[in-house]
């Protein structure tokens, strides 16, 4: 069966997605193998980091996110901002609303545009210190010798599992090895884990790079930046209740980490939700292709974000050597 589906190519902090309004395209998606669609769609337009679906309806709006390998993620911090914008512009027209992802409800806010022109959204993410996705229990700056003999890892759960380690400089080859090593440690990480290295550049600034479960190294990962910011606060490197600038290879977001009187953690992630183009794809169950002549670029919006990205990426701390 050949399906034609309207989609938006979008990104949050350089984390690029194919996004489909599953409400508008409900009939075309009926009975569709969504993991197969994700694997095929993520090869379009030079390759993207996932497939996003705006799902639900007036009673409960939500997001579904599939990785390039077809696995479904419980949460995606960059993706949910893009889905929030789509839901807001097409259906809600509200400054505040909620989106459900992975069985959790997330509070969304429409933010002031970045640099005066770039649409931005925020999401408040509850942060847990342990979960069944890591057999090692609570770890705040602890050792995981099976993964690396020298690094100190903080494990946090944000709807999806994360490990974050502070380093002096970001070594991308080390990050790749850690991400690949995790796949061999099923006893510790039964469903895999996202792995990040973060550098602290001051009490209110970090740089984060991430190997994403199901995707590999990406320009950025929203929940990883959230996890790394929270880890930095727990380790005393950055301040709770302070606006943190979190730079990455795709740009910059802002995080505000909070810890209540009972010790419960939550972090607000805010950043861009950029739409690069709209188009139509054709999917036959195994292969996807963009319908010839269907692409409608949003050149001005793309250029505005590219200019913003240059202003925050000039002093990138990435070095391609050992950072321990």
Residues serving a catalytic function are 76, 221
Residue for token pair 């990040």: 196
Calpha distance 222→165 (Å, rounded): 16
Calpha distance 271→77 (Å, rounded): 10
Buried b (16+ CB within 10 A) or exposed e, 235-267: eebbeeeeebbbbbbbbbbbbbbebeeeeebbb
Sorted by sequence, the CB contacts under 8 Å of residue 294 that are 6+ apart come out as 279, 280
Calpha distance 234→220 (Å, rounded): 22
Q: What Cα–Cα distance (Å) separates residue 149 from each residue in 9, 178, 324?
A: 40, 11, 11
Calpha distance 201→311 (Å, rounded): 17
- Of 82, 83, 64, which is closest to residue 74 (Cα–Cα)? 64
C-beta contacts of 143-146 below 8 A and 24+ residues apart: 144/188, 146/185, 146/188
In angstroms, how far is CA 225 from the centroid of its own chain?
8
């Amino acid at each position: 069966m050949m399906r034609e589906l309207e989609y938006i190519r979008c990104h949050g902090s350089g984390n690029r997605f194919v996004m489909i309004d599953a409400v508008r395209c409900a009939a075309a998606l009926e009975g569709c193998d969504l993991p197969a669609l994700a694997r095929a769609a993520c090869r379009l337009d030079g390759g993207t980091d996932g497939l996003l679906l705006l799902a639900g309806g007036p009673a409960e709006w939500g997001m579904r996110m599939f990785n390039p390998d077809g696995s479904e993620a419980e949460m995606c911090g960059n993706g949910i901002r893009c889905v929030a914008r789509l839901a807001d512009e097409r259906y809600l027209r509200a400054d505040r609303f909620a989106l459900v992802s992975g069985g959790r409800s997330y509070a969304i806010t429409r933010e002031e545009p970045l640099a005066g022109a770039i649409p931005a959204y925020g999401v408040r993410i509850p942060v847990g210190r342990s979960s069944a996705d890591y057999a090692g229990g609570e770890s705040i700056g602890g050792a995981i010798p099976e993964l690396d003999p020298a690094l100190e890892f903080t494990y946090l759960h944000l709807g999806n599992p994360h490990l974050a380690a502070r380093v002096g400089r970001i070594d991308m080859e080390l990050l790749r090895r850690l991400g690949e090593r995790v796949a061999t440690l099923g006893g510790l990480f039964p469903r895999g884990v996202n792995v990040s290295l973060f550098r602290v550049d001051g009490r209110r600034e970090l740089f984060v790079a991430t190997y994403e479960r199901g995707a590999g190294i990406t320009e950025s990962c929203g929940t990883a930046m959230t996890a790394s910011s929270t880890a930095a606060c727990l380790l005393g490197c950055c301040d709770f209740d302070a606006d943190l600038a979190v730079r990455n290879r795709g740009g910059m977001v802002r995080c505000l980490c909070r810890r209540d009187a009972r010790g419960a953690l939550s972090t607000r992630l805010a950043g861009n939700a950029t739409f690069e183009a709209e188009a139509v794809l054709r999917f036959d169950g195994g292969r996807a292709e963009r319908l010839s002549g269907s692409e409608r670029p949003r050149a001005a919006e793309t250029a505005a974000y590219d200019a913003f990205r240059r202003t925050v990426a000039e002093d990138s701390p990435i070095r391609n050597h050992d950072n321990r």
